[in-house]
Structure 1
Amino acid sequence: MRLTVLGTGYLGAVHAACMADIGHEVLGADADAEKVAALAHRVPPFFEPGFRDVLTRALDSGHLRFTTSLAEAGRFGDVHFICVGTPQRADSWAADVGSVDAVVDVLAPVVRPGSLIVGKSTVPVGTTARLAERLRELAPASGTDIAWNPEFLREGHAVQDSLRPSRLVIGVRTDEAESTLRQLYAPLAAAGVRVIRTDPATAELAKVAANSFLATKISFINAMAEVCDAAGADVLTLADVLGSDPRIGRRSLTPGLGFGGSCLPKDVRALISRAEELGVAPAVALLRAVDEINARQRRRTVRLARHMLGGTFSGRGVAVLGAAFKPNSDDVRDSPALAVAAAMQSRGARVRVHDFEAVEPARRVLPSVDFTTDLAKACESAELVLHLTEWPQYGRIDPARLATLVRRPCLIDARNSLDLARWRSAGWTARALGRP
């Protein structure tokens, strides 16, 4: 099939390359000429394991190309995927769908009659119905249909989640739209991927509801970590006990610094905002607590760091391990690690941050902080080391060797993924949230 992908950021670029990789003819479109040029030259504008390989295969096969003309993209495809960003609005917790609306306004006059527009961006429930009305106003005779097909990509696993997703949700209004999307995704369905047909409103809710539930599990175990600190209990053992219950499960029950990134925080807030607009705010009151617990974890980590430094940050050298909001990514949007680093620096600490992939993006966010890809340099003469992003490489650090570089062998494992006994046996004073 001939597909267009409107927006070639993280979501759009991965979707375009993966759809071309399974055999479709794909045209990716974006107004950012620099991004389009980089993709066309096989240079990913972000770090994502495996993406460069699939991008190269798709371009070499001739199934994928890119353009800066949305009008050209509109004329090219039979199916048009909207993959633009929907960040949190500056003036509220609601999602900013301005880019989604703009894409529809450009597409409506130029798409071929009978085309299907498919949203993948994360939007407030009711968006498909609103855009369908907009299409009827702009192109009443085109017969263009609109559906919603939310993405469930995990950064660090985006290629896998595109080619072998846990499920495909297609929110459609007509049998014809369902038939088109089932044909498009036939190679994935043949490999055993479950395709779930819903109405568009349910599909729109699917992504924010899934992220809100994951956020709730994370904040719940982080709340228990604070209780464990007060009671002298061990939150990791508690998480194992809870996770052994098949109704609960162990995934997303790892206590620590909390969630960040471009999805969970803004999706939780967007669902709260939309529920308020719909007049059902009490139904999502729990999510306000989820958001507050998440923010509290960052403050708790800063307080613990100050305590381990004797009550003051002023002039103290601090090494931060990690800048990205999660491992296997260079994404620093709403990064808990950067939030903690900035808070310590604002209180007078001399902060040096290490990361394997996110140094340049992080430097653009916090230009006054010292960033490095040299782990030894990051830790040299530090009085406290904070482990804030769970890159697997940090788990392989030799604590005895690192102890020779720092001024004081003091560690906070804010991700609860290091072997504290190993660090303590090497002479470190090591703490973690929720563990004795």
Structure 2
Amino acid sequence: MKIAMIGTGYVGLVTGACLAKIGHRIICVDRDNAKIETLKRGEIPIYEPGLSELVTKSVAKGKLEFTTDLAEAVQAADVIFIAVGTPQADDGRSDLTQVEGAAKQIAKAANGSKTIVVKSTVPVGTGRRVGRILGKHGDDHEFEVASNPEFLREGAAIEDFMHPDRIVIGTQTEAGAKTMRAIYAPFDNGTLPFVMTSLETSELTKYAANAFLATKVAFINEMANLCDATGADVTELARGIGLDERIGKHFLQPGPGYGGSCFPKDTLALTIQAQEADTPTRVVESVVLSNSHHIRRLGKKIADFCADSWGVDRKLPLLGKRIAVLGLAFKAETDDIRSAASTVIIPLLIKQGAEVIGYDPQAAEAAAEQVPFLQTTKNMDEALDGADAVVVLTEWQVIRDVDWNRAKHKLASPVVVDMRNLYDPHTMAAAGIHYASMGRPLIEPDLTPSPKLVSVG
């Protein structure tokens, strides 16, 4: 099937490349000429494991191409996906300017009947809104409008697309549903659930899924904080509740709060739409507040633990200290720093007088541009050299694999605050490191000097 993908951001590029992989002919459209020229050269503007290779192979097979000419792409396609950005507006709502603009351009360019698929994450009612725009500007052409939300995790997007838990499709007619089933026919193996529903239900499903996952993240972080206060262990607590099939073990790993391009934006947009519908989502509202409070309180946790480890007063202990932050992206396997904990916590440390150097294998440059006074490096040893304390914010494998028996010798002071619970507290204590994590009891470090080797003979 010939498909036009309007938007070559994260969702559009991944979706376009994966649809090409399963046999469709895809033309990706973007008004950013520089981005299109970059893609034509085989350069990928975002970091996503496996995406570069997938795009290269699809282009070589003639299944994927890039253009700035929306009209040409629309006229050549049977189906047009709208995968443009829906950024958070100043009032917290999703800004639909790009979605509406794309719909208007599609209508004006159409040379016959088309199926329009809204892939962007949008509030309930957007599909109907797109339909009205198409009808107003479409020269009496017939348009089928469908909703097909994405459920792609950054860092595992290709795997998620090629091996989905379910495919959610919202349509208005049987013809629209038939077209959408045809697009995803390679996945229709008789066991994968296809959730065929209305536009409204499809749109709300995306928001509801993200809100529920965000709720689990906020919940386990609150439990971790309570464990810190009571001496309980959140790792054992998470296992104890996660073995209940009604709860499940996923998303019960404490951390520095949720971030990225989806959870913060989507939870807030959902609460606003619910308020406007006079059906406030009190649980989700509390999740938004809980996550914001959690991230900010970590600045104090870091300062207090450093003060106690250094044996100094808790009043401005970070003044003049060098703090190494390991991990700047909101999660591993991505270069995305949108709403990342690092963009909140690092300014709090700098405000307390700390000199902060951040390490991240992919997000260092983006973080340096967004966070004033932050020094960054792609060399972890450079970050660790002379650091008075280390703060771990992202669960990159290279950070998990740090040998602290070796790395501690680079530090001015052996203090590690781990917001991802990557290391075993007993192992860190045995290495002579003052170590704090999320919701796990503190263990006093072994500060006994290592015995000196004496040469005999």
TM range (shorter): over 0.9
Paired residues of 2:296 and 2:344 also in contact (CA < 8 A): no
**CA positional deviation for 1:417:** 2.3
Q: Which of 282, 293, 298 lines up with 1:296 in the alignment?
A: 293
- Counterpart CA distance in 1 for 2:67 and 2:270 is 34
Query: Match for residue 309 of structure 1?
Result: 306
**Larger of the two Rg values belongs to structure:** 2
**Counterpart contact for 1:324–1:335, Cα < 8 Å:** yes
CA distance in 1, matches of 2:191, 2:361: 35
Deviation at 1:191, TM superposition (A): 8.2
Which of residues 341, 354, 367 in structure 2 aligns to 1:349? 354
Report the equivalent of 1:12: 12
Unaligned stretches of 5+ in structure 1?
none
Question: Over the residues paired in the alignment, what is the CA RMSD in angstroms?
Answer: 1.2
Structure 1 residues 374-413: aligned runs within 5 Å:
374-413=379-418
| Within-5 A mapping of 1:236-247 | 236-247=235-246
Please say if residues 110 and 138 of structure 2, whose CA atoms lie closer than 8 Å, have aligned partners that are also in contact.
no
SS in 1 for 2:26: strand
**How far did residue 300 of structure 1 move?**
2.3
Contact 2:11 2:83 (8 Å CA) reproduced: yes
CA distance in 1, matches of 2:183, 2:122: 22
Matched, 1:127 2:126: yes
More divergent stretch after superposition (184-193 vs 230-239): 184-193
Please tell me whether residue 323 in structure 1 is matched to residue 322 in structure 2.
no
Q: For the residues of structure 1 that align with 2:440 and 2:207, how far apart are their CA atoms?
A: 31
Summarize the alignment of residues 219-298 of structure 1 with structure 2, pairs less than 5 Å apart: 219-281=218-280, 284-298=281-295
Q: Would the aligned equivalents of 2:108 and 2:139 in 1 still touch at CA under 8 Å?
A: no
**Counterpart-to-counterpart distance in 1, 2:368 and 2:12:** 25
**Within-5 A mapping of 1:204-219:** 204-219=203-218
**How many equivalent pairs are there?**
433
Counterparts of 2:110 and 2:194, CA distance in 1: 26
Please tell me whether the aligned partners of residues 115 and 144 of structure 1 are also in contact (alpha carbons under 8 angstroms).
yes
Which deviates more from structure 2 when the two are superposed, residues 25-34 or residues 108-117? 108-117
Give the conservation status (yes or no) of the 8 Å contact 1:27–1:76.
Answer: no
- 2:446 alignment partner in structure 1: none
Aligned to 1:55: 55
Counterpart amino acid of 2:24? H
The aligned runs of 1:109-258 (5 Å cut-off) are 109-139=108-138, 141-190=140-189, 192-258=191-257
Which amino acid is the alignment partner of residue 19 of structure 1?
Answer: L
Q: Deviations over 1:25-72 (max 9, x none)?
A: 111000111111111221110110010111011100011110012222
Q: Which residue of 2 aligns with 1:22?
A: 22
Output aligned runs, 1:58-137, within 5 Å.
Answer: 58-90=58-90, 92-137=91-136
In 2, Cα distance between equivalents of 1:406 and 1:136: 65
Contact 1:256 1:297 in 2 (8 A): no
- Distance across 2 between alignment mates of 1:58 and 1:358: 27
Identity of aligned residues (%): 39
Shift of 1:143: 0.7
Alpha-carbon distance in structure 2 between the residues aligned to 1:35 and 1:165: 29
Which region of structure 1 is more displaced relative to structure 2, 222-231 or 43-52? 222-231
Aligned 8 A contact 1:386 1:411 in 2: yes
Q: 1:191 to 1:338 in 2, by over 3 A?
A: farther
